Amino acid sequence: MVAPYFSSGGQRMLNIGCHLSAAKGYYHMGKEALDIGANTFQFFTRNPRGGKAKKVNYDDMKLLIEFAGRNNFATLMAHAPYTMNACSVEPSIRNFALQVIQEDLSTLDNFPNAYYVFHPGSHSGQGVEQGIALIAEMLNSVLSDGLRTTVLLETMSGKGTEIGKTFEELNLIIQLLEQKEKIGVCLDTCHVYDGGYDIVNNLDGVLKEFDDKIGLNFLKAVHCNDSLNILGSHKDRHACIGKGNIGLDAMSRIINHPILRKLPFYLETPNDLSGYAEEIRTLRKLYVE
Ligand code: FE
Ligand code: FE
Ligand code: ZN
């Protein structure tokens, strides 16, 4: 498919969007994003709690790609379904995860570039080490030189037996990969806060730790959420921007931080479209150009 490459978004503006419903198609999401003041967005590749993907409408996808190019959108983010668990104890669930990521990446290969974020998985009692090995095994079978999409591991809050709750765990996965060119990390502000990283009082320290444990070159995107719970709660309940324990001042420091300010930010707050529009307006106002 021939289409202009997405730019890296606005050079001086905040690159921000939110999670949008894919129900009405790709082009529709692009128009919706623009309507609410966003210049990127995130969407589920399929029903987040189910499995089968809808048949891909490539004409619709092409319309979005042109639209995104014309409007200087930053990189678009596709989110894998929650049912994808690469490190389940059940072989059938692991096979399903592999099938999902293969299908999704082949669909996304029609984008000029995109991010594909997924939750590393829950080891459900097998232990962290085995979980990490299984996640890396799945990634090793899909990451290749020719891949156009960059696959992002999401930082997790550590509820249940989730893997990815520490930078060490994410690094261990990355270290097992044969091909590290097409892998990155998406930092979810609610998740890292719930995971015990104090981005409110020690953002510099947390980013330093990210650099020491993983390397900042792997940090590609930010999920921008406040948290209903306290630091280290391991809960994962998102709050609207400024309405949780992270707060608006800390969020302002996050979007303006020299290490983070050029990354794309994606809101996953409990909102309807007008709520997202409001949050985008608020954050754009706080961004120092
Ligand atoms: Fe997520
Ligand atoms: Fe997230
Ligand atoms: Zn979450």
Ion ligand 3 — residues with CB under 5 Å? 236
Q: pLDDT band for position 3 (50/70/90)? A: very low
Q: List the end-to-end C-alpha distance of the chain, in Å, as a whole number.
A: 35
User: pLDDT at position 8, please?
Assistant: 63
Q: Considering every ligand atom, which ligand is closest to the CA of 157?
A: 3
Average pLDDT of span 18-30:
97
Query: 271 C-alpha to center of ligand 2: Å?
Result: 14
CA 57 / ligand 1 centre spacing (Å):
24
Per-residue confidence (pLDDT) for residue 7, from 0 to 100: 59
Kindly state whether residue 4 falls inside one of the protein's structural domains: no
pLDDT given for residue 129 in this prediction = 98
Query: Quick check: is 278 in a domain?
Result: yes
Element (H, E) at 210: helix 203-213
Structural domain contains residue 2 = no
Ligand 3 centroid to residue 192 C-alpha, Å = 10
The CA 162 to ligand 2 mean position distance, Å, reads 13
Distance of alpha carbon 235 from alpha carbon 279, whole angstroms: 23
Determine, yes or no, domain membership for 9.
Answer: no
Of the pLDDT bands very low, low, confident and very high (cuts 50, 70, 90), residue 54 is: confident
Is 3 a domain residue?
no
- The residue behind tokens 């050029």 is 262
User: pLDDT at residue 4 above 60?
Assistant: no
- Parent domain of 259: 16-286
187-236 per-position pLDDT tens digit: 999 999 999 999 999 999 999 999 999 999 999 999 999 999 999 999 99
Query: Which ligand lies nearest to the CA atom of residue 237 in the structure?
Result: 3
Q: How far is the CA of 9 from the centre of ligand 1 (A)?
A: 22
pLDDT at 2 over 70: no
The Å distance, Cα 59 to ligand 3 centre, comes to 32
Residues ≥6 apart with Cβ < 8 Å to 132: 87, 163, 169, 172, 173, 176
Summarised one tens digit per residue, pLDDT across range 111-150 is 989 999 999 999 999 999 999 999 999 999 999 989 999 9
* Number of domain units in the chain: 1
Residue 7: inside a domain: no
Tell whether 213 is covered by a domain. yes
Residue 6: band (very low, low, confident or very high) from pLDDT cuts 50, 70, 90:
low
* Spatial contact of 221 and 190, defined as CB atoms under 8 Å apart: no
Which CATH number is 41's domain given? Answer: 3.20.20.150
Residue 252: CB atoms within 10 A of its CB come to 18
Identify whether 6 is part of a domain.
Answer: no
Residue-level pLDDT at 159: 97
Cα–Cα distance measured from residue 83 to residue 176, given in angstroms and rounded to the nearest whole number: 23
Residues with CB under 5 A from ligand 2 (ion): 188, 223
**pLDDT digit string, tens, across residues 66-97:** 999 999 999 999 999 999 999 999 999 999 99
Q: What pTM does this model have?
A: 0.96
The Å distance, Cα 2 to ligand 2 centre, comes to 31
Asked whether the predicted pLDDT for residue 272 surpasses 60, the reply is yes
